[in-house]
Structures are given as C-alpha cells and as structure tokens.
C-alpha cells in the first residue's frame, strides 16, 4: 500500500506550492527543473550564460557542488532578492559517509550491523553540511551489490536486501531528522533507482536485465524502505533496466515509485544522464531525450542542459503537456517549502572554522571500531592466537602502503574531508608502544600500484627484527573504488601479493590488515597468514580504532555485509542463491570430481561453490554459544499474517563462553520450501547486536510476520502461501546451524 509522507502531504504547504505555481511563467517553471554544477558554466556559450544571470532570471532551481557558506549565500542572494518570484535554490552535494568528519565508507558502516550508530553518523554529517548551506545530499546509495567487480560496492550496504533496508532507513532518519524544516536537517536522496548494482559484468554504467520477480524480491526493498522512512528525493540510475534507460523509465519512476509506493517528492537524474539517452539509443536528439525523461517522471535534469534548452519548445509544440511540467515543479517546490528554505535560505557564513572535536572523533572512532571485521585469527607455530596482541610483543614491524597513509583512510567520496584530520595506524601504534616501552619499525615496502620492489628489502629486514608483523595492503581508496572503478581482477593490486609472500617467508607471525572497498580474493593469504582484519577505509579515526582492536581494548564485532570469494570466477557471489535440482552438498569441494556422483552437480571443478568468508562472518576475542532455537508456534495461518503485525516469535539463548566481554551480532535466516516459486536457500530476516559479559547469557527473541515471511510470486505480488515449510536459523553468521521449523496453513 502507498505510504503518505506527512511533511510533503501537509495541506498548508501544498496550498503555498499551488499559489506560487499559479504565478510562474513557463520559463520560470522549467527553471525549477534545472540543476547545474557550481563553478564556471561548461556548456557552449550559446547554451549557457553566467550562472548569476540565469539564476536572476529564474532559469535555475538548484546547484550542486557548492561546498562553502560564502558561495552558497552569494548565489542564494541572487535567487531570493533578484529573481521575480524570490524562489530559493536548493544545494546538493555528495555527502556520502560524512561531510568534514569522515566516517568509514558505507560498506564499512554496514559491517557494523548497527543502524542506530549509522543514524548518528548521518545526523552529524547533516549538521556539518547544512552549516555550509547544503540542504540536500545525494545519499544513501541503497543499490544491492552482488558482484565485487563493480566499483560502487563501496558506497552501499552490500549484498543483502534486509540489511540494505535497515541501513537505508538509518541514513534517511539521520539526514532528515525529526523535521525537514530543522535548519540542521538535509534532504536525503535515495539512489540509484533502480537496480544499478546488478550491471552486467560488474561494469560501470552498463545494462541490467532481470526478471520483475528478482527486481521486487531483491533490489527494490531498500529503495522502498527509504521512501517509507520519509526520503523526499530519489536519483535515477545511469543503467538501463530490461532495455529501458532508468532516466526515462515510466515503469520505475511512475508506476512503482509514485503509483505503488505513493512517493510525493521529486526525482533528479544522475549527472548528464538525460542527454545520455542519445547514447543509449532511445533518442536521436536532445529534444526527444528531454521529452522522454520528463514524460516518464524525471523531474530535475542534473547538468544535462536538456530541460533548460528544450522543454519550453516541447511544451509550445504540444509534445509535452504543461500539466506535466506543473506536476514536476510541484514536487520540487514541495521539498523546498518542507526544508524551510523560503524562511531560512541563507547559511551562517560567519561560523567558526571546522575542528575535529573530541565528540566528533569519539563517534568516528566508534564507527570505525564497529566496522572492522576479524576474518581470521589462528595460532602461529604453536603460540596462542595472534590477536589480541600479547604483552610479550615488544617490537612490531608495521609494513605496507597503508600504515601511514592519511588520505587513503578517507576512501572514495570523502566529501570535504581533510587528510590532515586523519590519525594513521603508525601514529596511534607508535604512541601505544612507546607507552609500554616497546617500539615500531616502519617500512612502506611498496606502493599501492607498482611493480617496483625497491622497498622490499627494508620491509623484510624490519620483519626479521620484529616479534610481530602488521602488514597493511589493499586498494587505492580514491581511484580503485567508487564510481568508474570497476575491476576485472580482484586480487591485491600491483606487487602487493609478492610483498605478502616475501614477508610471510621470513617465518615471523603476520597480521594482514586489508583496506578495500569491495571483497578481495584473499585465498593465498587465508592459507598462509594467521590473522586477517578487513578494515575497509575507516575514516579519520582509523589509527586509534585499529589499535584498540588489535590490542584488545575493544573486542571486534563487525560482520561481513558481502561474501568474499575464493576466486574471481565465482562472481557474482552472494548468500541468497536460489536452489538447484542438483545441489552440490558435500561435493562443494575444491578438488576435481572423482566420480559421476560428484561430477554431475551444480559445482565448480576447481574451487568450492561457497565463499572463502561468508556473509555475516566475523570473529571475536571471545566465544558465543547458541542454545537450540525455540518457536512460539509450529503453525501460522494465512489469516494471522494480514497486515504487518508479528505472528510468531523465534528465540534462542546466547552465552558468552569466553573470558572477555564482547558484542555479538545475532542473525536470523529463513528458508522457504514448498512454495510456488523457488526461494533462496537462506536469507537474512533479522539481526540484533547483543553485548555480553564473560559467562553472561541473554535470551534473544525475533518477531516474524508478513514482511519477513512473504515473497514475490510469479505475478509480482508479495504473498504467503499455505502448505509452505519455513526453517529458521539463528547464529553468529549465515552458517548458523541451530534451527527450527514451522508451517503456513490456511
């Protein structure tokens, strides 16, 4: 059922919108649909004048990439005081994982499985961005990403729609606050609509082709969750979906978004995407591109210069009804009024310069600590597990290109982040070791992307002199992750794998710390390195957070939001695979098939089907034990599942069986059998963060109802069906073994 956004549906607000719309000329209406990037106009002189002139004439409704209050107020003053109708501009910016205070990249934040914390980071980002006049962020990116080759995996919450939906709601509530009209709130923009994360071959800007069942079951839920949470803007995606470019797709932009979900805000294109409809091949000229986009439900043209130059003629020629323009303008004005821009259009350009205060650093450090995932932690040569670092370790060799790289810790899309604010691992580690009389031997060893082995000798020498090696390897954050950063090879870039092998060959215990914006192929490392930490790109408090985790001051609690492959050829790789008539079962092995019983199964002959590190995986310095799963009922009727009220409870007892306190992410998975459609072999339908003292036990309960039990049938309807059997798994990862079953009856 469609959900009404009360802030946009307000009668008084809409009366103001309609009153203003009635005063507008066609050119002024079209101006509200035009967004340009701040700075010097880049189009031909015949197409664009000076921005100040266009704003004064009411020909521009929005600017993006205005990053400071002084510039924002300069343009805003022209719009509010010089244009005929005094309509304020709305400024948009890519505030993705922090504005000036940079938090872990979104994939890292998702690894926390902590929506409440993510909401706090978004609220802080909103407060900082709004101080500069930015009242609109192009975030959250909620694309489900199941192919690690795609560079934008780093910008989202990973492979799972349930986790993705939880993170989508957290970002929206954080950015928009309790009221959009709060001067510290910014409008969220859900992107990229729709299914951008499923681009063919993981290649940026590529096509998407999928069934409507897959679209609605997997890829649409996070978008809908964000809309239901109150998001007031949406960005269309660059890709085509089933042959129709998203920028001009009435099925997604009108039928689903408006008619089915009741969205009342506005849709903006991605950068230059309206003009790119020509390259997509569905328009021979920019006029046709504009006509198709506006008719499909695309309200604002970001930097395409199509609406500005072509819409008026299209209306006058009868190819676009003026009523279509009016409706797009209403949507945009609705958001501007809701944000309070008419009452408070200006930023405080006298505000003091940014300071990374202790409060800001505390949240950044918490976010980083919760994002770190302990992938592996084994004994080395008969000694105890390498982590946490023992007091007997007096000399540590810190090696690799990420140990003292401030800029790398910010990752891609780092907003207005300043590398000078970053505390590196080297800085934090040296302070820690100095306090206990130990020392750190630092050697970069190699660069991120090079074949030169000039630094190998120094790194190996430092390793040989140490009690423990911390080896920092991974991808270049700004250039190898994010937009336009698809990779055909998922191993460590350059000669980093060679450095890894050379350091391991010294025989010293090695902790590998991986910095990446996607799952990497770590098969060799998993076989030869005792401990592995996935650090993503942790933000300004990278060093203190990593040091706290490595020494056990903080017990790691992060869990993987994406599956890590044994080999690139497994991609796309994800947990919620559909079953097959010939499941691999015990033959899910890396050796070649030895007989017909092992050969004629759905399996690879050279690597396992399963991931190296599965979704939901993440180790702790303690051990959590799970009691058998109990259910409040063994049968649930279809009538009990009307509406969204819980119909069944699934419970377990979780015990901390170790000697230190820890936080466990308790995860619930479902499998549905006996339905009219194949359903995934296992899918996430609940999670809770639970903190336990040593020896402590907590009873954990999950409520399940129609949202968790339903699926999309062949008619693209969300249903439950009698006669189906549900298996509930609860544990600390997607490999949970404790389970119980119930059935749906008439």
Dist CA 66 CA 733 (whole Å) = 43
Same domain, 502 and 386: yes
Is 693 within the bounds of a domain? yes
Reported as a single tens digit per residue, the pLDDT across 224-248 is: 999 999 999 999 999 999 999 999 9
Is 97 within the bounds of a domain? no
The contacts of residue 449 (CB under 8 Å, 6+ apart) are 476, 480, 493, 494
- Residue 304's pLDDT is 93
CATH of the domain at 636: 2.60.40.10
Same domain, 542 and 634: no
Is 598 within the bounds of a domain? no
Tally the domains of the chain. Answer: 2
pTM for this model (two decimals) = 0.97
- Residue 319's pLDDT is 98
Average pLDDT over residues 198-224: 98
Instruction: Examine the pLDDT at 518 and tell me if it is beyond 70.
Output: yes
- Residue 343's pLDDT is 97
Q: Detail the DSSP E strand segments found in 55-184.
A: 62-64, 90-93, 136-137
- Residue 598's pLDDT is 87
Reported as a single tens digit per residue, the pLDDT across 426-439 is: 999 999 999 999 99
Based on the residue annotation, tell me whether 270 is a catalytic residue of this protein: yes
Helix (H, G, I), strand (E, B) or coil at 673: strand
Dist CA 80 CA 59 (whole Å) = 13
By the 10 Å C-beta count (0-12 exposed, 13-18 middle, 19+ buried), 508 is classed as buried
Decide which of 532, 550, 568 is a domain's last residue.
550
Same domain, 498 and 641: no
Which residue range(s) make up the domain with 714?
624-745
Is 378 within the bounds of a domain? yes
Same domain, 633 and 545: no
What's the chain's average pLDDT?
96
Average pLDDT over residues 568-580: 97
- Residue 383's pLDDT is 80
Is 216 within the bounds of a domain? no
Is 262 within the bounds of a domain? no
- Residue 1's pLDDT is 67
Reported as a single tens digit per residue, the pLDDT across 622-655 is: 999 999 999 999 999 999 999 889 999 999 999 9
In this prediction, residue 13 has a pLDDT band, given cuts at 50, 70 and 90, of very high
Reported as a single tens digit per residue, the pLDDT across 670-713 is: 999 999 999 999 999 999 999 999 999 999 999 999 999 999 99
Instruction: Examine the pLDDT at 174 and tell me if it is beyond 60.
Output: yes
Beta-carbon neighbour count of residue 487 at 10 Å? Answer: 19
Decide which of 501, 534, 550 is a domain's last residue.
550
**Pair 387, 552: CB distance under 8 Å:** yes
Closest CA to 195 of 248, 252, 138, 151: 252
Decide which of 531, 550, 569 is a domain's last residue.
550
**Pair 678, 666: CB distance under 8 Å:** no
Is 363 within the bounds of a domain? yes
> Which 8-state DSSP code applies to residue 389?
P
Query: Cα-flanking dihedrals φ and ψ of residue 408, to 5°?
Result: -65, -30
In this prediction, residue 3 has a pLDDT band, given cuts at 50, 70 and 90, of confident
Instruction: Examine the pLDDT at 44 and tell me if it is beyond 50.
Output: no
CATH of the domain at 519: 3.40.50.1700
Same domain, 539 and 683: no
Same domain, 393 and 514: yes
Same domain, 519 and 383: yes
Q: Which of 147, 270, 301, 476 is catalytic?
A: 270
Is 467 within the bounds of a domain? yes
- Residue 97's pLDDT is 98
Same domain, 544 and 398: yes
Minimum mean pLDDT range among 34-48, 287-301, 570-584: 34-48
Q: Detail the DSSP E strand segments found in 294-335.
A: 301-302
Average pLDDT over residues 328-348: 97
- Residue 2's pLDDT is 80
Instruction: Examine the pLDDT at 45 and tell me if it is beyond 50.
Output: no
Same domain, 362 and 501: yes
Same domain, 542 and 633: no
């Amino acid at each position: 059922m469609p959900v009404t956004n009360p802030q946009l549906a307000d009668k008084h607000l809409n009366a103001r919108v309609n009153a203003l719309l009635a005063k507008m000329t066609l050119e002024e209406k079209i101006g509200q649909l035009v967004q340009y990037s701040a700075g010097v106009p880049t189009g031909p002189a015949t197409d664009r004048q000076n921005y100040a002139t266009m704003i004064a004439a009411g020909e521009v409704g929005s600017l993006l990439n205005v990053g400071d209050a002084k510039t924002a107020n300069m343009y805003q003053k022209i719009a509010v005081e010089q244009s005929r109708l005094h309509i304020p501009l709305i400024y948009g910016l890519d505030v993705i994982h922090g504005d000036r205070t940079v938090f872990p990249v979104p994939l890292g934040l998702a690894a926390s499985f902590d929506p409440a914390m993510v909401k706090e980071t978004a609220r802080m980002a909103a407060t900082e961005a709004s101080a500069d006049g930015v009242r609109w962020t192009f975030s959250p990116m909620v694309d489900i990403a199941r192919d690690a080759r795609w560079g934008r995996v780093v910008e989202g919450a990973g492979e799972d729609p349930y986790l993705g939906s939880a993170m989508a709601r957290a970002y929206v509530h954080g950015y928009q606050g309790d009221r959009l009209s709060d001067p510290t709130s910014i409008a969220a923009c859900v992107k990229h609509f729709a299914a951008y994360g499923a681009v063919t071959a993981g290649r940026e800007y590529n096509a998407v082709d999928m069934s409507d069942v897959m679209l609605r079951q997997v890829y649409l839920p996070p978008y809908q969750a964000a809309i239901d949470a109150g998001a007031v803007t949406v960005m269309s995606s660059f890709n085509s979906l089933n042959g129709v470019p998203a920028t001009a797709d009435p099925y997604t932009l009108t039928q689903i978004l408006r008619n089915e979900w009741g969205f009342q805000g506005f849709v903006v294109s991605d950068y230059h995407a309206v003009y790119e409809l020509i390259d997509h091949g569905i328009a021979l000229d920019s006029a046709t591109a504009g006509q198709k986009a506006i008719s499909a439900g695309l309200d604002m043209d970001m930097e395409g210069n199509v609406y500005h130059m072509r819409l008026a003629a299209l209306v006058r020629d009868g190819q676009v009804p003026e009523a279509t323009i009016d409706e797009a303008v209403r949507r945009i004005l609705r958001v501007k009024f809701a944000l309070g821009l008419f009452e408070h259009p200006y930023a405080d350009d006298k505000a003091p310069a940014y300071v990374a205060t202790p409060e800001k650093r505390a949240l950044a450090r918490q976010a980083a600590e919760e994002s770190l995932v302990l992938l592996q932690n084994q004994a080395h040569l008969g000694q105890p597990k390498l982590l946490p670092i023992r007091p007997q370790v007096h000399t540590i060799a810190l090696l690799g290109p990420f140990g003292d790289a401030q800029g790398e810790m910010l990752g891609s899309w780092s907003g207005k982040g300043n590398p000078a604010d970053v505390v590196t691992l080297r800085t934090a580690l040296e302070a820690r070791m100095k306090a206990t009389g130990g020392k750190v031997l630092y050697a970069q060893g190699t660069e991120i992307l090079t074949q030169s082995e000039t630094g190998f000798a120094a790194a190996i020498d430092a390793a040989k002199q140490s009690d423990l090696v911390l080896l920092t390897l991974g991808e270049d954050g700004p250039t190898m992750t994010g937009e336009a950063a698809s990779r055909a090879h998922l191993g460590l870039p350059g000669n980093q794998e060679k450095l890894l092998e050379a350091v391991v060959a010294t025989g010293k215990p090695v902790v590998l710390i991986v910095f990446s914006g996607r799952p990497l192929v770590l098969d060799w490392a998993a076989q030869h390195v005792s401990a592995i930490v996935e650090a993503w790109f942790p933000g300004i408090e990278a060093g203190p957070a990593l040091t706290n985790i490595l020494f056990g001051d903080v017990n790691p609690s992060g869990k993987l939001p994406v599956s890590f492959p044994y080999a690139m050829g497994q991609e796309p790789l994800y947990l919620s695979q559909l079953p097959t008539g010939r499941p691999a079962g015990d033959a899910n092995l890396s050796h070649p098939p030895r007989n017909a019983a092992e050969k004629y199964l759905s399996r690879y002959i050279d690597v396992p089907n399963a991931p190296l590190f599965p979704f939901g995986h993440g180790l702790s310095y303690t051990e959590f034990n799970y009691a058998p799963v109990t259910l409040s009922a063994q049968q649930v009727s279809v009538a009990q599942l009307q509406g969204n009220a819980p119909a069944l409870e699934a419970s377990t007892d979780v015990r901390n069986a170790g000697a230190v306190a820890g936080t466990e992410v308790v995860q619930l998975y479902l499998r549905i059998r006996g339905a009219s459609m194949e359903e995934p072999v296992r899918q996430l339908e609940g999670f809770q963060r639970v903190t336990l003292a040593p020896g402590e036990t907590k009873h954990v309960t999950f409520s399940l109802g129609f949202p968790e039990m339903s699926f999309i049938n062949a008619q693209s309807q969300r249903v439950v069906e009698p006669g189906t059997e549900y298996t509930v798994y609860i544990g600390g990862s997607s490999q949970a073994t404790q389970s119980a079953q119930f059935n749906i009856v008439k």
